[in-house]
A and B are shown apart, each in its own frame.
Chain A
């Protein structure tokens, strides 16, 4: 168990190679207890490899990591006793009932019969599967399997819950319920999950790490990330074509980038306060009739695309993207 204030997950130079392919290139990562941590990155970025290493499915080529104070390579202190894990496609024994599967999982964690029964009923209630508890898992829908998968990952009241794309198979209502569940779990566990659904990550995560080609691009809180990598934008719509606006703003130091489409223009700004003061005045002085003016807050998707998208390189709020 991690001491108060200590990281619950710590990776130091964690590296994994498959032949000549380097899936993870010396990952350094720190995750603090009772947070919801999102691992982002395009396909092949190394997200699943990281989760597999931290859950002891595979061994690192070099480097070290600790989960809840236990080394992932230690045979003595087995991190698996204090973690929960759910893979992208929940793989459960289809010939068992939901109730049986949770009971079996409890046995693997050494819970007594009465504790197992209590925990099983609690979890079935939590994920909304009480009515289907006695049905064979083979007859469950994908969403029900996903929810049972989450329940089995919680049987041992884990200190860290590792989830690989946990809400991908759920409908919008199911997704909302599960995300709310993760938020409730924050008090008792650290949730570490990978996802492609950036809106979900934006909604519930405290901090994220972005991986690309096996390398950590950035690790920060969501707020910090947005401030650093997605400067605010101003959208403007004019009565006339917006090319004149482009010419007008080309030399303004607070403008980082401007995109024009017909009568609309989107400005990426370096200094929002200055831009908010200067832009309306410039428009009035130039006699450009304004139809719409809006300051847009950046989303995590803007950050993500900026970090790993076409723009590619980490440029912070520096030069034009």
Chain B
């Protein structure tokens, strides 16, 4: 196993993300969503008053927890789709353009080829999420009150687990087919399943990261009353499933003819 090839491959992936503006796009989308969540929550009463056309809309006073719920709703939808769009061609395009052949006829193990890609996208995700979370936390503190740091960090780890799962699924789909559009379509269907299935089965929903983003669980976390086990399991299951999907991608790609 030529492990020394991992570092050059990872560096290449970082440079590619930077030069092809993937990192910038991801940061802009995440940061906008992170910052906009508390601002929109803050402005909601005024917006509704202006849209009311004379009708009186009674809205409870907006709180930091409302801003947090808006942030979480924002972050599980568009960012996952952006990740699918950014990563859907990562393996499929290299196969169809022939660059995979150029690299894999050198002593680069296929698992390293896959892992470097996953870790580079995961890094982009982490950087974008840290910036989005920082923006959301800052504006929530300024407009409402500071959120409990521990709960906010746990919820962001939950977001990371959920988005990592979407990313791992997209990279698996990209390894399965040569066409990036087809890979994106498959990953989108997979993402829908990931979002819908937990709502159909209570025992599954309890262990998936999306359970953490439900309003009642968020309230428990903010109040510091959420049971530790029910918080940790979804995080571990989410990250574990993502790890399994990456391992499956390595296995699939190992036996594929390029």
Contact = CB atoms under 8 A, between A and B. Distances in A.
A95 B11 CA distance: 14
Nearest to A58: B257
Contacts of A80: 105-107
Nearest to B102: A91
Interface stretch (B64-72, B93-101, B164-172): B93-101
Contact of B257 (A59, A85, A109): A59
B46 interface: no
B104 interface: yes
A299 interface: no
A81 interface: yes
A148 to B, nearest CB: 11
A258 B101 CA distance: 49
Given A87-B98, A93-B99, A104-B12, A57 B108 contact: no
The dominant DSSP class at the B interface is helix
Contacts of B107: 78, 80-81, 108-109
Contacts of A96: 15
The dominant DSSP class at the A interface is loop
A89 interface: yes
A45 B185 CA distance: 36
A67 to B, nearest CB: 12
Place the interface of chain A in its size category.
Answer: 20 to 34
Interface in B35-85: none
B103 interface: yes
Interface in A45-69: 55-59
B105 A56 contact: yes
B16 to A, nearest CB: 6
A83 interface: yes
A92 B11 CA distance: 16
A87 B108 contact: no
Considering the complex of A and B, which 4 residue pairs feature the smallest CB-CB distances, nearest first?
A: A91-B98, A107-B8, A85-B105, A58-B257
17 contacts: A57-B257, A58-B258, A78-B2, A81-B2, A81-B107, A85-B101, A87-B98, A87-B101, A93-B16, A95-B16, A95-B20, A107-B5, A107-B8, A107-B11, A108-B103, A109-B106, A110-B5
Given A93-B12, A110-B4, A156-B106, 6 more contacts: A56-B104, A85-B101, A91-B98, A107-B7, A108-B103, A109-B107
Interface of A: 55-59, 78, 80-81, 83, 85, 87, 89-93, 95-96, 104-105, 107-110, 149, 152, 156, 162
